[in-house]
Amino acid sequence: MGKIVLSLLLFAYMVFSMKITVVTDIDYPPFAYIDQEGKLVGISPKLWELFSERTGVEIELIPMKWEDAIKAAREGKTDVIDLIFVTEERKKFLDYSIEIYKLTSSIYYREGLPALKTLRDLTPYVVGVKRGDALYGIAKNSNPSIQFRFYDTYGELFLAMKNHEVEVILMDDVPAQYYLQKFDMVYNVKKSEPFTENNLHWAVPKGKDHVLTLVNKGLEKISPKEIKSIVLSMVPHARIDPSVIFTLFLVISGLIAAFLFFFIISFYLKRAVQKAAKELEYKNQQLSAYNEELEAQSEEIKAMNEELERTLSELERASNNFIGTLDLIDRAFNLQEDGKTFLKKAFNLIFDMFPQSHCGYIALFEQGTLQVIEARGFDKDSINALQIPSGELYKPDVPIIVKDIRSIESKSMNEKNYAQIEEILPKSCCAMVTPMKIVDQTVGNIVLEVKDCSEKTFTEHDLKMAESLEKIVTSFFLVRRYIDVKEKINREIVSMLVKTLEYYDKYTQGHSERVAQLCRKMAQRIGLPEPELELAALLHDVGKIYVPQSILNKEGHLSDHEFEFVKEHPVKGFELVLAIKGMEKIAKVILYHHERYDGKGYPAGLKGAEIPLESQIIFISDSFDAMTTARPYRKIPLRVEEAIREIRRCSGTQFDPNLVKIFEEIIYEQSDMSRFV
């Protein structure tokens, strides 16, 4: 008995001497929020005021951001946390009072969005929630795919929705009604059915059992009716839109006026009204007929517009395809185009011509191995790294549309290679495979794949177009093969002519090759095509075959008559090389390779820019080699530095000054000539 009395006395002492610290949400209207005067107001302050009156306990209410309030409760820095839902996570550090108020929570979303009924409907949206809110955990557990954006307060959350930062938010219904009215968004926001219902409690940190006892005792002294009365007094009620009130007023006023009007004059105007009604009905019927006719015409015009748009779209696509095909044909016969560069451009053009394609590639079978030149939709280097034998691939004889190309290739492909390809290449429902064939040899494939056949797949028309494009691509290789054969034959002819000249004139042995080497370096530096200049350099003296050996091998100076014979060798070389088909430009370069910059050369006396640049390069290279090698008329050649000084001396007379500078740089690079500058 004594212990009971002692306990009661102790509880009474705690009640009348204790001060409780309570943290509450700074923005949870109408339960707790800061008014325009900066005071904490709402349902919660009223409840705690009533609690203090009934228990005599002093209450210190501290408003803060909800996330900070949760943190303070977790760290035991407060006695009570105000109005909180029960969650499994919070049970770890909080003990809860008896139920205070039941609250529902819903999805709120902007007018114009599709109906959002459950949390499962929120996957496509960024959803706004308040930091620390239990609704985040409830939604996350129900639909892990939701993307969230967090805000410190409900006010910031609703402001973000008003400013279109987010289109969807999760919120308790009572605070939501408050902010809908505050931000004048009642008619701009839709609400789902509640997705959860929870009880609001007061809660104390673990280990403060005496505070929990005190809180529950105090709550027992406040009746549910009193709590409900406080809540109802603070909960905002939906306001009727003033425009609706005004409309209702006008309607009611009109009805009253109409009633009075008809009441007063109905007897006199009854027949007139009946007649007018019949006329109005007739006109309405006419108007209805006109409207139906107009709607029919509108639908017809709409259908015609849609058909016209489709036709224009198809024409535009056909035009683009035609232009692209012409460009591809032009590139196929462009002799300067690199093979792999051409294939890359060709594939990208072909891929864009088939908009239903989601991935594809163009590949060559080089040395029995798949070599992807260009790809879309996957990394070609990952495929090339596998070194897949071409024999393991699907290689049809003719263009074909196949379903599930992976399954077909799995039957002939190494199991390890197939597994890696499955990881690299996207899934596809069908593919269009076009073999690239030269004569009867398949040199590669063009493969286009469609991901989803339910939308659009390849047609027989696509197959024919792909076959035509493949023929353009393979014509590139045929042209290159023809050119290679032709160039090989030309080089053999050139080699034969050079050898013939060397047998005829022993002093020219190695001369043509040395001049060609210097010309090739000049071409690289200036940016001229190397093969043509090199061929011209090799053949520049071939016309000397027509000069008697007695003149070519004469020691000492030539007579004027003999020199006239020598001056004929550019013309004879021109005539000889011109007879070789396809070497007309090279023949012209040979013709003018002894023209001087000042116009005093031969055979035509051209000067400056009139002389082909290639001829000028051969002239300076020929002169340098002649000076630095033994000749019949000069047994001891000049040293390199002496030859450079001579060329520099003749700059602006015999040679183009700009070419002299470039030539000197090349000689300096291959010889240590810097000391002679």
Cα(153)–Cα(27) distance, integer angstroms: 6
Say what the pLDDT of residue 677 is: 36
Please check whether residues 448 and 321 belong to one and the same domain.
Answer: no
Shared domain for 21 and 162, answered yes or no, is yes
Nearest to 342 by CA among 369, 370, 364: 364
Which pLDDT value is given to residue 11?
43
Residue 447 in domain: yes
Determine the pLDDT at residue 675.
35
Q: Is 568 helix (H, G, I), strand (E, B) or coil?
A: coil
Residue ranges of the chain with pLDDT lower than 50? Answer: 1-17, 238, 240-241, 244, 673-677
* Predicted local confidence at residue 633, as pLDDT: 61
Q: Which domain holds residue 322?
A: 245-332
Asked whether residue 87 is domain-assigned, the answer is: yes
Q: Give a yes or no: residue 494 inside a domain.
A: no
Residue 620 near residue 655 (C-beta atoms within 8 A): yes
Same domain for 143 and 207, yes or no, is yes
| 201 and 282 together in one domain | no
Do 221 and 250 share a domain, yes or no?
Answer: no
Quick check: is 492 in a domain? Answer: no
The answer to whether residues 191 and 327 belong to one domain is: no
Burial of 502 by CB count in 10 Å (0-12 exposed, 13-18 middle, 19+ buried)? middle
- Tokens 């790809």, located at residue: 375
CB 519, CB 625: distance < 8 Å: no
Q: 3-state DSSP call for residue 189?
A: strand
One domain, residues 309 and 253: yes
Is residue 515 included in any domain, yes or no? Answer: yes
Number of folded domains that form the chain: 4
CATH of the domain at 167: 3.40.190.170
Query: Do 459 and 369 reside in the same domain of the chain?
Result: yes
Q: Which residues contact 125 (CB under 8 A, 6 or more apart)?
A: 109, 146, 147, 166, 167, 168
| pTM tops 0.75 | no
Please give the pLDDT value at position 501: 60
Helices then strands, counting H and E runs in the chain, come out as: 24, 18
199 plus 72 within the same structural domain: yes
* CATH number of the domain where residue 518 is located: 1.10.3210.10
Domain boundary among 234, 256, 273: 234
How crowded is the C-beta side of 647, counted as CA atoms within 13 Å? Answer: 31
Q: Are residues 509 and 650 in the same domain?
A: yes
146 and 29 inside one domain = yes
**Do residue 512 and residue 578 come from a single domain?**
yes
- pLDDT at residue number 248: 65
How many other β-carbons are positioned within 10 Å of the β-carbon of residue 317?
A: 13
How confident is the model at residue 323, as a pLDDT? 62
pLDDT of residue 500: 63
- Whole-number Å distance between alpha carbons of 47 and 219: 9
What's the CATH number where 468 sits? 3.30.450.40
Q: Does 365 fall in a domain?
A: yes
Domain-embedded: residue 7:
no
**Residue 192 domain-assigned?**
yes
Give me the pLDDT at residue 219, please.
93
Query: What is the model's pLDDT at position 374?
Result: 93
- Residue ending a domain, among 234, 254, 277, is 234
| Structural domain ending residue among the three candidates 213, 234, 255 | 234
At residue 299, the pLDDT reads 79
